[in-house]
Amino acid sequence: MLYWNSAYECMSRSEMIEVQTERLRNTVNRVYCNVPFYRERMQKAGIEPGDIKSLEDLKNLPFTNKEDLRDTYPYEMFAVPMSDIVRIHASSGTTGKQTVVGYTRRDLDSWSEVVARALCSAGANKESIVQVAYGYGLFTGGLGLHYGVEKIGASVIPISGSNTKRQLMVMKDFGTTILACTPSYALNIAETMEEMGIRKSDLKLKAGIFGAEPWSDNMRKEIEERLGITAIDIYGLSEIMGPGVSVGCNCRNGLHIQEDHFIPEIINPQTQEVLPEETTGELVFTTITKEGIPLIRYKTHDISSLKYKKCECGRTLVRMSKVTGRSDDMLIVRGVNVFPSQIESVLLETGETAPHYLLMVDRVDNLDILEIWVEMSQNMFSDKVRKIEELEVKIRKNIVSALGINARVRLVEPKTIERSEGKAKRVIDKRRI
């Protein structure tokens, strides 16, 4: 099965614009009538629903922020009565209150539709056996993937995310063909598999559908090699829907956004100005089919760019570039902007270490210090101190030439860095700014 829904995935641009325009006008009307927050915002900006006639008018609508969701916690942003809400999820939120999202039955249908499209992109069909090792619960990963698998009629193994040895036993015995989890957990699974003496040929695994956190292209290659699979990137956020907002394809040239459900824009995060195609900035989404909690111009903080050219896979859906980081995860080290995934890429490119790392940032005498902890590989562990020091110097030099920053590199013993079962924690920032 090449596509799940070619009518939308391969739709001509003019038809897509027509679909989006109608759905956008509908959504704006609905939030104006049903969500006091949006009515007030629009009145303040002097806009009435009737002013939104084409996609061009989208830029006149006010933005929505994460803070707006916190201020309206838990249900004030909902556009339907609670009797129409059939599911509630929430995002963990590392700072402050979590954000709550509600789905109507139709929202759940749209969600499984976009996840079904994503799974097809990873080669899924009715015969597939999909092990969902994303966490089940308020996090959207587990249940989001789950219903997509059921929608295409494949078999779902709802194992959730922990107990790595059991994951492998199930993978082997149940004949899992597709693994769904975070990329950092996929790596943890690969490592445990090697420790348990399970070979790639003992498994039926063909593909993985990984997301929920930034990962470099080098990390993708590492996972593909160690698990013997094709790894597809899946992106999403709970506020907009959950997993499935966009998905990569075999062309590996960006992720296709399910544009008949979500309209993307890229803005300059400082000036809020909309940026042209292929320019990097902050990703903003407007949902155009959601009933429970429709969001207008939601600022994601994710850094990406858009490309409208038709993809070689045949899909016409706009592509967003791989999200390498969030504007709020970006480290500013002595004035230089660095994303953890850029450091990850250099580490994996250099090779010779294990792919497990942690970034420690501190400020000493008003100067930022970045220390990169990276694990030695097992065979390196027995090497002479001089050899270890040489590798530290080599990594440091590669970081300087790739990113222009000076970092201290510390090769630490194997297994020192905590393994992830969900979203990995890569940074410890001790600066008090």
Length of the chain, in residues: 433
Q: Which is nearer to ligand DLL, 41 or 146 (CB)?
A: 146
Least distance from ligand DLL to the Cβ atom of residue 314, Å: 22
Q: Which is nearer to ligand DLL, 116 or 395 (CB)?
A: 116
What are the tokens at 262? 């979500």
Q: Which is nearer to ligand DLL, 347 or 376 (CB)?
A: 347
Least distance from ligand DLL to the Cβ atom of residue 417, Å: 20
Least distance from ligand DLL to the Cβ atom of residue 33, Å: 27
Q: Which is nearer to ligand DLL, 21 or 297 (CB)?
A: 297
Among 119, 171, 165, smallest CA distance to 145 is for 119
Binding site for ligand DLL (CB under 6 A): 91, 134, 139-141, 144, 211-214, 233-238, 242-243, 300, 302, 323, 326
d(CA 405, CA 183): 26
Least distance from ligand DLL to the Cβ atom of residue 160, Å: 12
Residues 6+ apart with CB under 8 A from 382: none
Residue nearest to ligand DLL (CB): 211
243: three-class secondary structure by DSSP: strand
Least distance from ligand DLL to the Cβ atom of residue 254, Å: 12
φ/ψ bin of 161: left (φ > 0), alpha (ψ from -120 to 50), beta (otherwise): beta
Q: For residue 309, count other CB atoms closer than 10 A to its CB.
A: 12
- What backbone torsions phi and psi does residue 2 show, to the nearest 5 degrees? -75, -45
Q: Does residue 62 have a cis bond before it (omega within 30 degrees)?
A: no
d(CA 271, CA 407): 31
Q: How far is CA 82 from CA 85, 86, 287, 291, 300, in A?
A: 5, 8, 20, 12, 26
CA 254, 258, 263, 268: dihedral to nearest 10 degrees? Answer: -20
Least distance from ligand DLL to the Cβ atom of residue 423, Å: 7
Least distance from ligand DLL to the Cβ atom of residue 221, Å: 16
d(CA 46, CA 61): 10
**How many Å separate Cα 142 from the centre of its chain?**
14
- What backbone torsions phi and psi does residue 39 show, to the nearest 5 degrees? -60, -45
Q: Is 73 exposed, middle or buried (0-12, 13-18, 19+ CB in 10 A)?
A: middle
31 close to 61: Cβ distance less than 8 angstroms: no
Residues 6+ apart with CB under 8 A from 15: none
Q: Which is nearer to ligand DLL, 121 or 140 (CB)?
A: 140
Q: Which is nearer to ligand DLL, 344 or 368 (CB)?
A: 344
Least distance from ligand DLL to the Cβ atom of residue 123, Å: 17
Q: Which is nearer to ligand DLL, 214 or 254 (CB)?
A: 214
400: three-class secondary structure by DSSP: helix
Q: Which is nearer to ligand DLL, 91 or 353 (CB)?
A: 91
Least distance from ligand DLL to the Cβ atom of residue 138, Å: 9
Q: Which is nearer to ligand DLL, 123 or 243 (CB)?
A: 243
